[in-house]
Chains A and B, each alone.
Chain A
Amino acid sequence: MSEENLEQKAKQIRADILKMLYTCQSGHPGGSLSCVEMLMALYYKVANIDPSNPKMENRDRIVLSKGHACPALYAILADKGYFPREDLWTLRQLNSHLQGHPDMMKTPGVDANTGSLGQGVSIAMGMAIAAKYKKADYKVYAIIGDGEVQEGLVWESAMAAAHYKLDNFVVMLDHNGLQIDGSNELVMSIGNIMAKFQAFGFECIQVDGHDLDAIVKALQAPVSGKPKFICCETVKGKGVSFMENNFGWHGKAPSEDQYNAAIKELGVAVNG
């Protein structure tokens, strides 16, 4: 797909996210909008996946450890053809296969259950060790939040990833600076996250998290004998001016007026 088309695609995915949340009147817009390009780089450019065969043995694994951002994941999975687009509008409703947080038992294309922060990245690390043991050449990608890194589990998994020299394991940080109660700095300052991953033994790269090309380059940069960490500098609520950089939009659905304003700003139609 051409670059221009992907830029348009990003807008479409953002509009889909908003429609999903508006329809069920719950969910997490801020962190969904901030990781759109990160997920797109994987699903449209880098990862070896086959939507017609979601359980393909040698597929790359993608774990959205910050599981509350799953509307972004679901919009992309639908666009890739893992399930019908109209399913998106059943998000979070009774008996939908699209749960409030990712569920591998229900949704095709979901590789691990997440939602309890810290666990996804650890599960992903385990998959990477398993790949080494099985001499399989798939890669494992985990997307984590900058509030999520406050969980000790994240660092326990980082320690193990370096120990087992997991050069098939990539941790991508959605560095939007905000969590529920405010900025990371205010709630529990974690300092320089990339420096910490570096100290744990990761190969680290920093990129603009809304620059698809830059993310793709970072993903493709070769590493050997070390896990990789990509610090994606992002804007929480990206693409909708009144949601951008506003922690109040972490877990709140838009009203009708807000929804219409957001769609207008994105400049795309949301068709069934």
Chain B
Amino acid sequence: MAESKSLRVAYGEALVELGEKNKNVVVMDADLAHATMTNSFAAAYPDRFFNFGIAEANMMCAAAGFAHSGLIPFASTFALFGTGRAYEQIRNSISYVNANVKFGLSHSGLSVGEDGGSHQSIEDIALMRGLPGMTIFVPCDPLETKKAVFAAAEINGPVYIRVARPVVDTITTPNTPFVPGKANVMRDGSDVCIMATGLMLPVALNAARLLEEDGIHAAVVNFHTIKPIDSDCILAMADRCGAVVTAEEHSVIGGLGSAVAEVLAGHSSAKFARVGIQDKFGKSGKPADLFAAYGLTAENIAAQCKSLKQ
């Protein structure tokens, strides 16, 4: 039976495993180790864990200092405070010099729920995507989260891993490949292609099932990597299906939807729609209620697909 687990728990466990193998891996946090789950690493390797307190900007520059000294820092906090508060530190001290820093940032997206709009990062991918040389992973399940952590350690340069808070089912298998920059086709179809990332993967698969009932064969592709984006896959699927719908727990501005649009523009005549947060801020509520309120549902994805096929 596939395991259900919060991605942040999977993240914490993966760090412990990675730390066992590689003594240069160090972990940093900003007074959220109990939330990002880096506290598992802190317990296992107290001499390689550094709490910087509520000081994200300082943590990111310190991470650059660690990297310049040959270490492989994984810096964690909430996605909003990591990519937002410390944005310019990431840009100039890390990305600009291709420093070998990884940020596993948790509590991304609307699924933070009750904390509200001030804590829901829905533009973090946009911020990180604008930085040359940045790699962006958005895992969809616990297994993929672990693979993302190990893949990040193999890359020489900054990597952002977007870690969602909710407990989610495992929908990939240990054998599912995780090649940075290569999207995975999770379901074949030739009428419309749903390109999804992160928590929207299971929702997209449900949408495909709904469409099947109406005789529409939808492909579902998992974009675990948003940058570099898999242009070959996007163009091939667009060519084959003639219709593409993106689905992400992020603003439609600057995230997966934008990345796919940038590839399609001028190269494809496929019809195109984006499901995501429509240029609005989030608000307090239960994650499921918020997904419904913001149209992050199988029904909405299916409706968008149908309208492209009309």
Contacts and interface: CB of A to CB of B under 8 A. Distances in A.
Interface in B6-41: 29, 31-35, 39
Interface residues of B, number: 32
B53 interface: yes
B283 A99 contact: yes
B31 to A, nearest CB: 5
A152 interface: yes
A27 B55 contact: no
A60 interface: no
B56 to A, nearest CB: 8
* Dominant SS among interface residues on chain A: loop
Interface in A58-78: 67
Contacts of B32: 180-181
A150 B115 contact: no
Contacts of A100: 114-116, 118-119, 284
Nearest to A25: B114
A251 B119 CA distance: 14
A37 interface: no
B289 interface: yes
Interface in B46-80: 51-55, 57-58, 80
A179 interface: yes
Interface in A144-172: 147-148, 150-152
Interface string B75-105: 0000011001100000000000000000000
A150 B31 contact: yes
Interface hub of B32, B33, B114, B119 (most chain A Cβ within 10 A): B114
Contact of B31 (A113, A116, A118, A181): A181
B303 interface: no
A24 B115 CA distance: 11
A26 interface: yes
B51 A188 contact: yes
Interface residues of A, number: 33
B286 interface: yes
B293 interface: yes
Given A26-B113, A152-B57, A180-B31, A94 B285 contact: yes
B77 to A, nearest CB: 11
A177 interface: no
B290 interface: yes
B53 A150 contact: yes
B51 A116 contact: no
B127 to A, nearest CB: 15
Contacts of A180: 31-35
Nearest to B120: A100
Interface string B187-222: 000000000000000000000000000000000000
A99 B117 contact: yes
A116 B80 contact: yes
A103 interface: yes
A26 B114 contact: yes
Interface hub of B85, B113, B115, B286 (most chain A Cβ within 10 A): B115
A262 interface: no
Contacts of A152: 55, 57-58
A5 interface: no
A53 interface: no
A253 to B, nearest CB: 10
Contacts of B35: 180, 251
Interface of B: 29, 31-35, 39, 51-55, 57-58, 80-81, 84-85, 113-119, 283-286, 289-290, 293
Interface of A: 24, 26-27, 67, 92-96, 98-101, 103, 113-118, 147-148, 150-152, 179-181, 184, 187-188, 190, 251
* In the A-B complex, the 6 residue pairs with the closest CB atoms: A188-B53, A94-B285, A115-B118, A100-B116, A150-B53, A92-B114
26 contacts: A26-B115, A67-B118, A92-B115, A92-B284, A92-B285, A94-B283, A94-B289, A94-B290, A99-B117, A99-B283, A100-B115, A103-B117, A114-B118, A116-B84, A116-B85, A116-B118, A147-B31, A147-B54, A152-B58, A180-B31, A181-B29, A181-B31, A181-B33, A181-B51, A187-B51, A188-B31
